[in-house]
Amino acid sequence: MFDILWVKHLHVTCVGLSIGLFVVRGSLELLSWPWRHWRLLRMAPHLVDTVLLSSALWMVWRTGQYPFVDTWLTAKVLALLVYIVLGRFALGKNTPQRQRPLFFAAALLSVAYIVGVALTRSPVWGLG
């Protein structure tokens, strides 16, 4: 039991770090600051997201709850894919400057949905 609790805390910590790093990078991008010159802001998200994904996969294995079997996990995985695409456009060098705020806001909404699903274990946040 301790193992699952420890990994869950690691996962939640990485969620906070990942979202925080995205908000910092997205905000700097919208302000036209050269955040890509800072190695920490280029490398840390990859490390954090690797630990985040690894902890998620470990918890899936240990709990026996699987995407495409459990609806709430399916919703999280699909929303995660949406978040990745939107985040890529929000931070993308080839995305026109005027479109970046829309992609950034949409990415933040999708990550808010993911967190809501995780907290309620319901794809409709327990409203349906």
What would the pLDDT profile of 35-53 be if each residue is shown by its tens digit? 999 999 999 999 999 999 9
Residue 59 lies in a domain: yes
- Total domains present in the chain: 1
pTM over the 0.85 mark: yes
Does residue 36 belong to any structural domain of this protein?
A: yes
Mean pLDDT (the chain, rounded): 95
Average pLDDT over residues 49-66: 96
125 falls within a domain:
no
Is the pLDDT reported for residue 1 higher than 60? no
Domain containing 37 equals 2-120
Residue 4 CA neighbour count, 13 Å, CB half: 7
Q: For residue 95, is it within any domain?
A: yes
Q: Is 53 helix (H, G, I), strand (E, B) or coil?
A: helix
128 pLDDT exceeds 90?
Answer: no
Cα separation values, 91 from 12, 23, 79, 94, 100, Å: 23, 10, 18, 9, 7
- 128 in a structural domain: no
